[in-house]
Amino acid sequence: MNYRIDIGLEVHVQLKTRSKMFCGCEVRVGAEPNTLVCPVCLGYPGAMPSMNGEAVRLTVRTGLMIGSTIDGFSKFDRKSYFYPDMPKNYQISQYDRPLCDGGAVLIGDGGVAKTVRIRRIHLEEDVAKNTHFAAASGVDFNRAGTPLMEIVTQPDMHSPEEAFAFLLALKQILQYADVSHCNLEEGNIRCDVNCSVRPEGQEALGTKTEHKNLNTFKGVLNALKVESERQIAVLNRGGKILQETRRWDADTGETAAMRSKEDAHDYRYFPEPDLMPVVLAPAEIEAWRAALPEMPAVRRARLVRDYGIPDYDAGVLVADKAVGDYFEAAAKLAPNAKLVSNWMMTEMLRLLGETERDIRTVPITPAALAALVCLTESRTINSNTAKDIFAELFEQGGDPEAIVRQRGLGQVSDASAIGMIVDEAIAENIKVFDDYRNGKVAAAKFIIGQVMKKSKGKADPQLVMKLLDARVAGG
Amino acid sequence: MKLNLSTLTVSDALAHMASGDFKSIDLVEALGAAIAVRDGELGAYVSVDLAGARAEAEAADRARAAGKAGRLCGIPIAIKDVLNVRGQPCTCASKILDGYVAPYDATAIARLRAEGAVFLGRTNMDEFAMGGSTENSAIKRTRNPRALDRVPGGSSGGSAAAVAGGLALAALGTDTGGSIRQPAAFCGCVGLKPSYGRVSRYGLTAFASSLDQIGPMTRTVRDAALLQEVLSGADPMDATCVETPVPPYAAQLTEDLRGMTLGVPAEYVVEGMDPAVAQAVQHAVERCRDLGARIVEVKLPHTMFAIATYYIIGTAEASANLARFDGVRYGLRATGATDPLDMYKRTRAAGFGPEVKRRIILGTYVLSSGYHDAYYLKAQKVRTLIRRDFEQAFASCDALLTPCTPTPAFRMGEKTQDPLQMYLGDIFTVTANLAGICGLSVPCGVAPGGLPIGLQILGPAMKEENILRVGHAYEVARGDQWLG
């Protein structure tokens, strides 16, 4: 029997704010445990939350990016459950009036576009981090209270690959909106994954299972592959899927039952009495809408139009907002945008990949790349020299023109200077020159090679060829 | 005549200190002596910090000498043990906060501190402010200073006993369903529950966040007005605290009630009410008429649902508010636990008393899936109706006059086995918390045996000036006849 897979995601995104959701503590990774804390984010007796307006703005901004409805009235609720990473043993979250309703994210690369509908986006506070030692466990509350945006999709993804593509597209939008650092290693994006399968043609969704807190996109992909295959195998055996929470073990590549539906929490939501509802004026929402950045798909089309680069190149360049920004900055300064794009598509992305670096932190500036393109375009340097200089700039930065000048790397285009070298080479290899004159085309290569050697690679090869031919013609 | 420093009013003490008759340190020493003599019997305080109070009094005296006296400079105040005062324990009269030391000042404390108040000690209460007799304290028993076999009321029973018993010039209490007004009535002092949002709750260990308020407990209405001026006002740390300007309450007090219309709600007469209470309140109403007020009858038709509504909303919020006491970060942590869940169970079983457990279970139940709509949601709707009752009543009058409690103080142990009877005693006070309005309890007579009776004056939200004016005019006309 053929099965259809239905996947829905809950994506938790840490927002890029200076302070926490409900107190003034700094949001920062890597500080000593329990140093970025106060009575509020530690859940001390008598402490009360004060709302971070910037977190509300960033959440609404995300909603506006994906076409959510923002009706301007929202409220917070308490979600109760006991766990040592929860300072108050309830989380301030949003139950029935999230900040953003609906919306959609487009996935698929160029060819088959597909829409994943978004159910809602709400705002809540992150929990602390537990660390387990040999004889005890420790709780670090530095993370507790970090603004956390939860994006809930409809079950619109029908393969693990689609879920993966959705996450890439969503991350791209979040980067474009500049609402999160989107650093997966630091847990900025974490997913709860819901998956069910049903026989092809069946209307109703199958019984779903959930995997919580997956913090890599590859993990989501692999867990979904294993889980959907497991569910299909169970049904094929005539078994039943149990509604449960399962744990994904990335090391063994297996999923295992963790908690059944019967053990599920009753969160006992009720309106947070310590906070007033969030009321946003239409003018404020409109001002935020007016300040939205370009969506990646729109930018891709614009790069093709404005810079005359192929659609494929544009797609690669906009995939990472910072790469796109870098390209545009360099292209504006260079005489030939296509050449800039070529450098980005080849050397830049190759080196970024090899060194696992972020384009925002590499020493080579967009201006330096543009200058390098100028030097090749004017044929001041040849392409091998340019590649060497690029590699050096990538590591150390600097001004390509200065490097060329200081080291005398400039291509020699002075006909009289090169003419002298050509004459020297002919004199030393008169027999080869005669072969060439008698029609042995390959012989020219040897002469040119000799000229390049004598000029230490600086001679313009095309000029050398021209001068050689002049000697043949001139007798 | 030699002054008895420990039974002065705040305003008299301020006047005396301003004219150099005595200093704050003298007040602290007098109160320290009174506490040493009498608190063994009364049990008003759970802890007294005389060394700290002396240091603060001396600082206040220096400030006064330097011409920098704040509005409460040198006034010793007792603080209910539910408010966070930096560097002091805050037990909430519970074993579960054993060892906890507050790392910060509640906003109300910071405001008193900024005006030069001296913090004398921490007063006893029902555990987590849950109760009406202070018998739910896990720390000690508190006696009513007017009748030692009687309860002082609660939950702010320690604060009421300290003020009425001459062990503090004034105190802070908190009121979630009557916890300032009822003990004030039982002990014969003045208690003001401000409107919801009038005083910042930041630093008040929450029982029911949508009902709790901090307020003054004093010997006179003028003193309550003086403290309330300092306590009131918006606070960035409490989003529910409103921006409404704070009037000069004390300066606006008058000795007549001309031009005021006072309502008497027909529903505030219940079965089992002590006739002495009904009679004393009736006399108080007549006296207000004599002072120039117009008296009208008003209707508050949803009053009968108030107790049920209160015990659903209050316990629901409490069940979440008290979830944080789990042994992880502060306070009691039970030993021998095998996993986190086991640690929670052992800690909470050992740390909470029976009434707190009862309310956490009730609150958890009314919020549970399947029961949420029938209880919590329905109670919220009834709450709206109760609020509307008051809005309609206040459309035609400036304040309402009611009894504060159906009976005077009951005997210790009399109701401990019957929580429902204890809950029903809150009938006249819970409505103000549900509606978010302000309420004042002023002594208006004594029942046989010398037991004080409280007149409750209810006012519209953010109209503390109305009830303080009525209370003051009545108090002046009444004279000192029943005060101890």
Q: Which residues of B touch A89 (CB under 8 A)?
A: 323-324, 326
What backbone torsions phi and psi does residue A14 show, to the nearest 5 degrees? Answer: -75, 130
What distance in Å separates the CA atoms of residue A385 and residue A407, rounded to the nearest whole number? 11
**Residue in B closest to A271 by C-alpha:** B317
Token couple for A13: 């995104």
Q: Which of A287, A309, A339 is the last residue of a domain?
A: A287
Q: Which of A77, A81, A89 best probes binding to B when mutated, by most B CB atoms within 10 angstroms?
A: A89
Helical spans, DSSP H, in B19-102: 24-42, 50-65
Contacts of B406 (CB under 8 A, 6+ apart): B270, B272, B273, B274, B277, B424, B425, B427, B428
- For residue B45, what are the β-bridge partners? B123
In this structure, the number of other CB atoms found within 10 A of the CB of residue B103 comes to: 14
What distance in Å separates the CA atoms of residue A189 and residue B70, rounded to the nearest whole number? 52
Instruction: Report DSSP state, residue B147.
Output: B
Q: What is the mean pLDDT of residues B397-426?
A: 93
* Residue of B450, B454, B453, B443 lying closest to B478 (CA atoms): B443
Q: Which of A380, A407, A434 is the last residue of a domain?
A: A407
How many residues comprise chain A?
475
What distance in Å separates the CA atoms of residue B219 and residue B239, rounded to the nearest whole number? 31
A82 lies within 8 A of chain B by CB: yes
CB contact under 8 Å between B100 and A45, yes or no, is: yes
Residues A122 and A259 in one domain: yes
User: Which residues of chain B approach chain A closer than 8 Å at the C-beta?
Assistant: 83-84, 90, 92, 97, 100, 102-104, 106, 201-206, 208-210, 236-240, 316-317, 319-320, 323-324, 326, 328-330, 340-341, 344, 364, 367-369, 372, 376
- For residue A11, what are the β-bridge partners? A151, A191
**Angle ∠(A17,A20,A22) on CA atoms, nearest 5:** 130
| Separation of first and last alpha carbons in chain B | 18
Cα A137 to chain centroid, rounded: 34
The residue written with tokens 């802070």 in the block is B172
Residues A341 and A421 in one domain: no
Helix axes A160-177, A311-319, angle to 10 degrees: 70
**Residue in A closest to B313 by C-alpha:** A270
The confidence band for B3, taking pLDDT boundaries of 50, 70 and 90, is confident
CB contact under 8 Å between A268 and B100, yes or no, is: no
Q: Are B11 and B226 in contact (CB under 8 A)?
A: yes
Q: Which residues of A touch B341 (CB under 8 A)?
A: 82
Please report, for residues B30, B56, B63, the alpha-carbon distance to residue B49 in angstroms, rounded to integers and kept in the order given: 14, 11, 21
A-B contacts (CB, under 8 Å): 102
What distance in Å separates the CA atoms of residue A46 and residue B85, rounded to the nearest whole number? 11
A264 lies within 8 A of chain B by CB: no
CB contact under 8 Å between B239 and A51, yes or no, is: yes
Per-residue confidence (pLDDT) for residue A112, from 0 to 100 = 65
**Angle ∠(A436,A440,A441) on CA atoms, nearest 5:** 85
- For residue A335, what are the β-bridge partners? none
Number of domains in chain A: 3
What distance in Å separates the CA atoms of residue A278 and residue A98, rounded to the nearest whole number? 10
Per-residue confidence (pLDDT) for residue A354, from 0 to 100 = 87
In a domain? residue B363: no
Residues A338 and A469 in one domain: no
In this structure, the number of other CB atoms found within 10 A of the CB of residue A401 comes to: 17
A89 lies within 8 A of chain B by CB: yes
A270 lies within 8 A of chain B by CB: yes
pLDDT digits (tens, 9 = 90+) for B126-157: 999 999 999 999 999 999 999 999 999 999 99
Residues A242 and A194 in one domain: yes
* Residue of A195, A269, A271 lying closest to A231 (CA atoms): A195
- What CATH number does residue A434 fall under? 1.10.10.410
Residues A351 and A457 in one domain: no
How many residues comprise chain B?
484
pLDDT digits (tens, 9 = 90+) for B204-246: 999 999 999 999 999 999 999 999 999 999 999 999 999 999 9
Residues A216 and A330 in one domain: no
Q: Distance (Å) from the C-alpha of residue A241 to the closest C-alpha of chain B?
A: 24
Kindly indicate whether the ipTM for this predicted assembly is greater than 0.90, answering yes or no. yes
Q: What is the mean pLDDT of residues B335-348?
A: 94
Tens-level pLDDT at each residue, chain A (475 residues): 899 999 999 999 999 999 999 999 999 999 999 999 999 999 999 999 999 999 999 999 999 999 999 999 999 999 999 999 999 999 999 999 999 999 999 886 545 678 999 999 999 999 999 999 988 889 999 999 999 999 999 999 999 999 999 999 999 999 999 999 999 989 999 999 999 999 999 999 999 999 999 999 999 999 999 999 999 999 999 999 999 999 998 888 888 988 887 777 899 999 999 999 999 999 999 999 999 999 888 898 899 999 999 998 998 899 888 899 999 999 999 888 999 999 999 999 999 988 888 898 899 999 999 999 988 887 778 778 889 899 999 999 999 888 888 877 766 667 777 888 888 888 888 888 888 888 888 888 888 888 888 887 778 778 888 888 888 887 5
Number of domains in chain B: 1
Long-range pairs for B143-148 at CB < 8 Å and ≥24 separation? B143/B41, B143/B42, B143/B43, B143/B412, B144/B186, B144/B187, B144/B409, B145/B42, B145/B44, B145/B187, B145/B484, B146/B187, B146/B188, B146/B409, B146/B450, B146/B451, B146/B452, B146/B484, B147/B409, B147/B449, B147/B450, B147/B451, B148/B41
Helical spans, DSSP H, in B96-191: 107-114, 157-164, 181-187
In a domain? residue B483: no
Per-residue confidence (pLDDT) for residue A471, from 0 to 100 = 86
Contacts of B100 (CB under 8 A, 6+ apart): A45, B89, B90, B91, B330, B331
pLDDT digits (tens, 9 = 90+) for B380-405: 999 999 999 999 999 999 999 999 99
* Residue of A198, A167, A196 lying closest to A184 (CA atoms): A167
Q: Which residues of A touch B92 (CB under 8 A)?
A: 45
CB contact under 8 Å between B237 and A51, yes or no, is: no
Q: Which residues of A touch B238 (CB under 8 A)?
A: 48, 50, 274
**Angle ∠(A151,A154,A158) on CA atoms, nearest 5:** 115
Cα B381 to chain centroid, rounded: 26
Positive or negative torsion for Cα B357, B360, B365, B366? positive
Q: Are B84 and B109 in contact (CB under 8 A)?
A: yes
Q: Distance (Å) from the C-alpha of residue A205 to the closest C-alpha of chain B?
A: 24
Instruction: Report DSSP state, residue A132.
Output: E
Q: Which residues of B touch A87 (CB under 8 A)?
A: 324, 329
State the amino acid at position A398 in one-letter form: G
Facing B344 at nearest CB: one of A39, A82, A88: A82
Strand bridging mode A137-140 / A129-132: antiparallel
Q: Are B194 and B228 in contact (CB under 8 A)?
A: yes
Instruction: Report DSSP state, residue B411.
Output: B
A266 lies within 8 A of chain B by CB: yes
CB contact under 8 Å between B239 and A49, yes or no, is: yes
In a domain? residue B142: yes
Residues A240 and A129 in one domain: yes
Provide the residue range defining the domain that includes A41: 3-287
A39 lies within 8 A of chain B by CB: yes
Q: Distance (Å) from the C-alpha of residue B323 to the closest C-alpha of chain A?
A: 6
In a domain? residue B154: yes
What distance in Å separates the CA atoms of residue B470 and residue B289, rounded to the nearest whole number? 11
Helical spans, DSSP H, in A5-70: 53-65
**Residue in B closest to A270 by C-alpha:** B367
CB contact under 8 Å between B239 and A82, yes or no, is: no
Contacts of B165 (CB under 8 A, 6+ apart): B38, B42, B44, B145, B187
The confidence band for B484, taking pLDDT boundaries of 50, 70 and 90, is very low
Q: Which of A269, A287, A305 is the last residue of a domain?
A: A287
Q: What is the mean pLDDT of residues B270-281?
A: 92
Q: Are B89 and B132 in contact (CB under 8 A)?
A: no
Residues A171 and A43 in one domain: yes
In a domain? residue B37: yes
In a domain? residue B184: yes
Please report, for residues A155, A384, B409, B415, B417, the alpha-carbon distance to residue B412 in angstroms, rounded to integers and kept in the order given: 62, 98, 9, 8, 11
Q: Which residues of A touch B237 (CB under 8 A)?
A: 48, 50
What distance in Å separates the CA atoms of residue B306 and residue B431, rounded to the nearest whole number? 6
Instruction: Report DSSP state, residue A347.
Output: I
Query: How buried is residue A4: exposed, middle or buried, by Cβ count under 10 Å (0-12/13-18/19+)?
Result: middle
What distance in Å separates the CA atoms of residue B112 and residue B169, rounded to the nearest whole number? 14
Per-residue confidence (pLDDT) for residue B482, from 0 to 100 = 57
Q: Which residues of B touch A51 (CB under 8 A)?
A: 239
Residues A247 and A362 in one domain: no
Q: Which of B98, B125, B329 best probes binding to A when mutated, by most A CB atoms within 10 angstroms?
A: B329
Per-residue confidence (pLDDT) for residue B481, from 0 to 100 = 64
Per-residue confidence (pLDDT) for residue A357, from 0 to 100 = 83
Point out the residues of B that are catalytic.
Answer: 80, 155, 179
| Rg, chain B, Cα only | 21
Please report, for residues A173, A386, A405, the alpha-carbon distance to residue A392 in angstroms, rounded to integers and kept in the order given: 33, 10, 15
Residues A317 and A461 in one domain: no
Residues A41 and A164 in one domain: yes
Most trustworthy range by pLDDT among A445-449, B265-269, B478-482: B265-269
Residues A75 and A192 in one domain: yes
Q: Distance (Å) from the C-alpha of residue A140 to the closest C-alpha of chain B?
A: 11
Positive or negative torsion for Cα B435, B441, B445, B446? positive
What distance in Å separates the CA atoms of residue A101 and residue B131, rounded to the nearest whole number? 43
Q: Which of A142, A274, A276, A278 best probes binding to B when mutated, by most B CB atoms within 10 angstroms?
A: A274
Q: Distance (Å) from the C-alpha of residue B257 to the closest C-alpha of chain A?
A: 37
pTM exceeding the 0.90 threshold for the entire prediction: no
**Residue in A closest to B235 by C-alpha:** A50
What distance in Å separates the CA atoms of residue B232 and residue B247, rounded to the nearest whole number? 9
- What CATH number does residue B14 fall under? 3.90.1300.10
Per-residue confidence (pLDDT) for residue A353, from 0 to 100 = 84
A277 lies within 8 A of chain B by CB: no
Per-residue confidence (pLDDT) for residue A236, from 0 to 100 = 95
Q: Which residues of A touch B367 (CB under 8 A)?
A: 80, 268-270
